Amino acid sequence: MFICILSLPLFHTFISLLTLFLGDVRVRSRAGFETERRGSHPYIDFRIFHSNSEIEVSVSARNVRRLLSFQRYLRSSRFFRGITVPNSSNILDDDYNGQAKCMLEKVGNWNFDIFLFDRLTNGNSLVSLTFHLFNLHGLIEHFQLDTMKLRRFLVMVQEDYHSQNPYHNAVHAADVTQAMHCYLKEPKLSKSLTPWDVLLSLVAAATHDLDHPGVNQPFLIKTNHYLATLYKNTSVLENHHWRSAVGLLRESGLFAHMSLENRQLMESQIGDLILATDISQQNEYLSMFRSHLDRGDLCLENANHRHFILQMALKCADICNPCRTWELSKQWSEKVTEEFFHQGDIEKKYHLGVSPLCDRQTETIANIQIGFMTYLVEPLFGEWARFSNTRLSQTMLGHLGLNKASWKGVQREQSGSGDDVDPAFEEMDSDILPQEPRLS
């Protein structure tokens, strides 16, 4: 009704202003490849298992609600209501309370409690932490970024994580971003990395699981999800995270002032980092890493070598939960297992065949974690410690050993034996590992 009473010229003016302010939600492919359109989220539509008579909610209505959630944020945010901030370094003052700001002063500490920080920021940990890191690393000034556009981009990223996922949500993305920051501070990296490298690392960390549906790739394949078809059953989720991230970068216009060549390079290299988190490629990356270390030929003055190390750093950040303190690691273990078991419940309900590690009747948190640490985490972090033998590396390996011992204690209490390892991990090799990181 509102549109009907507007004259045609006024209507066009209104749409132009709205597009200028919000950005064109019809993300155009001006460079490289087609992005995933905002709103094309891979929610699993379980109505495919029912008859048409049981369908009650339209997909289009759901997509509209998803887009409107960002508009609701715009209306409620003081930042977007026009409050002027004279200095970008003080932009935090309006949105952070005292405790959150105190935590950010220690954002480089390995015992940083992302759960507490998320509560202190009222569920905005990813936006708050990532904006702070951009400012801390001098990226805003170096790349002449518009702080409004940066904030808007981060809001869209946070919005496109699914808060209903127990594990793969914006808090996980914030945790991975904080871990990546810790690795960027390591002496070998900090003295060699360029602002470009840091920029890529933080964007890739923040978006590495963007729009994650809370189920793994085999589930998408056996339910004939459109993403599995789109990416030909290969790194389905990782490709979607990457393309979704590029879509939001273009929609926000954050780097619109850069040359087309630089934007294309950025999009491609962010993709390289995110695709490296595909756990099915773990053995390949680990073998390359080990070979470089054996030969001692890594040269961080070489851009390609730096990029490879950033890939390994993001892989470490992605599965670093067992290397955190027991209090933090245990929470993450419980959350990821809850997500596994939820998928298993759905697979049972619709007779799809329960995926490995997803049957709550036969699996336990302890068994899953011991297998995960033994076959995936320990080999990766052992090689990372060879590359960067620092206090942080030793701290991570120390926590890993203590946490594994703790889970073995739990396992003994549950089964009366401390030698059991989940056979699902023993049977997994590089060809059959699920393509989505189990603790990504």
pLDDT in tens, 12-46: 544 444 433 333 333 334 445 667 655 544 555 55
Measure the CA–CA gap between 439 and 208, rounded to whole angstroms. 12
Mean pLDDT across 360-385: 98
Q: pLDDT tens-digit profile of 86-106?
A: 444 444 444 457 899 999 999
Q: pLDDT tens-digit profile of 255-302?
A: 999 999 999 999 999 999 999 999 999 999 999 999 999 999 999 999
Task: Count how many Cα atoms sit within 13 Å of the Cα of residue 42 in the half-sphere of its side chain.
Answer: 31
Annotated binding-site residues read: 168-172, 208-209, 318, 369
Tell me, what's the pLDDT at 420? 59
- Spatial neighbors of 304 by CB under 8 A, at least 6 apart, are none
Residue type, 40: S
Residue type, 144: Q
**Out of 168, 212, 225, 241, which one is annotated catalytic?**
168
Measure the CA–CA gap between 207 and 173, rounded to whole angstroms. 7
Judge whether 168 counts as a catalytic residue.
yes
Annotated binding-site residues for Zn(2+) read: 172, 208-209, 318
Q: Which of 62, 238, 43, 70 is nearest to 154 (CA)?
A: 70
How many other CB atoms are found less than 10 A from the CB of residue 191?
A: 8
Mean pLDDT across 213-234: 96
How many other CB atoms are found less than 10 A from the CB of residue 240?
A: 25
Q: What is the pTM of this model?
A: 0.80
As given in the structure block, the two tokens for residue 208 are 């590495």
Mean pLDDT across 330-336: 98
As given in the structure block, the two tokens for residue 101 are 């700001």
Annotated binding-site residues for AMP read: 168-172, 209, 318, 369
What is the chain's mean pLDDT, rounded? Answer: 83
Residue 81 pLDDT > 50: no
How many other CB atoms are found less than 10 A from the CB of residue 116?
A: 14
Tell me, what's the pLDDT at 255? 98
Q: Which of 87-96, 308-317, 425-434 has the highest mean pLDDT?
A: 308-317
Contact criterion met (CB below 8 Å) for 366 and 407: yes
How many other CB atoms are found less than 10 A from the CB of residue 67?
A: 13
Tell me, what's the pLDDT at 75? 42
Q: Which of 235, 219, 109, 125 is nearest to 169 (CA)?
A: 125
Tell me, what's the pLDDT at 415? 84
Burial zone of 398 (CB within 10 Å; 0-12 exposed, 13-18 middle, 19+ buried)? exposed
| Angle, CA of 283, 289 and 293, to the nearest 5° | 140
- Report the SS3 class of residue 3: coil
**Cβ-count burial 290-329 (b if 16+ within 10 Å, e if not):** eebeeeeeeeeeeeeebbbbbbbbbbbbbbbbbbbeeebb
The percent of residues in the chain predicted with pLDDT above 90, rounded, is: 72
The phi, psi pair for 50, rounded to 5°, reads -115, 170
Measure the CA–CA gap between 131 and 149, rounded to whole angstroms. 11
Q: Which domains does the chain have, with CATH numbers?
A: 107-427 (1.10.1300.10)
